[in-house]
Amino acid sequence: MYKVCVDTGGTFTDCVVLDDQGRKEEFKSPSTPEDFSIGVVNSISDAASAFSLTDEQFLDQTELIIHGTTAATNAVVTKNVAKTALIGTKGFRDVIEIRRSSKIETHSMYEAFIPPYEPLVPRYLRFGVNEKTKSSGEITKGINEDEILEIIEQLKKEQIEAVAVCFINSFANPENEKTVATILEKHLDNVFVSCSSEILPKIGEYERTSTCVINASLGPVIKKYLTRLETKLKNQGFQGQLLVMQANQYAQSVSAVIRKPAYLVGSGPAAAPAGSAYLGKFIGEENIVTADMGGTTLDSGMLSRGGVILKSGMWLNDDRLGIKVVEVSSIGAGGGSIAWFDSLGLLRIGPKSAGAEPGPVCYGRGGTEPTVTDAAVILGYVPDDYFWGGKYKLDKEGARNSIKKIADKLGLGVEETAQAIFTTVSSTMADGITEITTRRGHDVRDFSLLVCGGAGAMCGAFMGGLLNTKNIIVPKFAASFCAWSMFCMDVGRDYIRTYFSNLDEADEDEINRLYQEMIDEALAEFSVLNVSRENLSLVKSVDLRYSGQFHEIELTLPSSDISKQDLINLKDDFHRKHNDLFTFSLPNVDIETRNLRLIATVKSDVSDLPEIEKTTGKAEAYEKRRRQCFFEGKFMDTPIYDGPLLKAGTCIKGHAIIEEPTTTVVIPPDFTCNVDQYGNYILNKEVQ
Binding site for another protein (CB under 8 A): 90-94, 97-105, 108-117, 122-124, 128, 134-135, 168-169, 171, 203-207, 342-348, 410, 420, 423-424, 427-428, 431, 434-435, 439, 500, 546-551, 578, 581-584, 586, 589-590
Q: Identify which of residues 100 and 156 has a Cβ nearer to another protein in the complex.
A: 100
Q: Which is nearer to another protein, 97 or 175 (CB)?
A: 97
**Residue 34 exposed, middle or buried by CB count within 10 Å (0-12, 13-18, 19+):** exposed
Cβ closer to another protein: 65 or 120?
A: 120
Asked if 189 contacts 233 with a C-beta cutoff of 8 angstroms, the reply is: no
Decide whether 89 or 480 has the Cβ nearer to another protein: 89
Shortest distance, position 115 Cβ to another protein, whole Å: 5
Query: Rounded to the nearest whole angstrom, what is the least distance from the CB of residue 344 to another protein in the complex?
Result: 4
In the bound complex, what is the minimum distance in angstroms from residue 443's beta carbon to another protein? Answer: 11
Residues 6+ positions from 400 with CB-CB distance below 8 Å:
378, 414
Q: CA 264 to CA 246: how far, in whole Å?
A: 5
Residue 345 CB, nearest distance to another protein (Å)?
6
Q: How far is the CB of 665 from another protein (least distance, A)?
A: 23
Biggest alpha carbon–alpha carbon distance for the chain: 83
Look at residue 496 and give its three-state secondary structure.
Answer: strand
The DSSP output letter for 272 is H
Taking the C-alpha atoms of residue 144 and residue 138, their distance in angstroms, rounded to an integer, is: 17
Which of 124/530 has CB closer to another protein? 124
Q: In what helix (H) or strand (E) does residue 432 lie, and over which residues does it extend?
A: helix 414-436
The secondary structure of residue 614, as a DSSP letter, is B
CA distance 46 to 55: 9
| Closer of 110 and 305 to another protein (Cβ) | 110
> Whole-angstrom Cα distance, residue 500 to residue 316?
29
Which residue type sits at 240? G
Q: Is the CB of residue 498 less than 8 Å from the CB of residue 203?
A: yes
Q: Please give the distance of CA 196 from its chain centroid, rounded to a whole number.
A: 23
**Residues forming a β-bridge with 449:** 289, 472
Query: Nearest approach, Cβ of 437 to another protein (angstroms)?
Result: 12
Report the residue number, 282 or 546, with the smaller CB distance to another protein: 546
Q: How many CA atoms lie within 13 A of 176 on its CB side?
A: 29
Residue 424 CB, nearest approach to another protein (Å): 5
Give the shortest CB-410-to-another protein separation in angstroms.
7
Nearest distance in Å: CB 569, another protein? 22
Nearest approach, Cβ of residue 571 and another protein (Å): 17
Please check whether residue 387 is in contact with residue 393, taking contact to mean a CB–CB distance below 8 angstroms.
yes
Nearer to another protein (CB atom), residue 135 or residue 227: 135
Distances (CA, A) of 595 to 2, 199, 206, 499, 580: 41, 14, 17, 5, 22
Give 440-445 contacts, CB < 8 A, sequence gap 24+.
440/302, 440/309, 440/327, 440/581, 441/580, 441/581, 442/302, 442/304, 444/289, 444/468, 444/469, 445/469, 445/470
- 137 conformational bin, left if phi > 0, alpha if psi -120 to 50, beta if neither: left
In the complex with another protein, which residue's Cβ is closer, 59 or 143? 143
Dist CA 628 CA 396 (whole Å)? 14
The smaller minimum CB distance to another protein, of residues 493 and 545, is found at 545
Residue 122 carries which side chain, given as an amino acid letter?
P
Residue count (the chain): 688
In whole angstroms, how close is the CB of 548 to another protein at the nearest point? 3
- One-letter identity of residue 294: G
In the complex, the smallest distance separating the C-beta of residue 184 from another protein, rounded to whole angstroms, is 22
Q: Which is nearer to another protein, 353 or 424 (CB)?
A: 424
Which of helix, strand or coil describes residue 498?
strand
CB contact at 8 A, 236 and 228: no
When the beta carbons of 218 and 406 are compared against another protein, the nearer one is 406
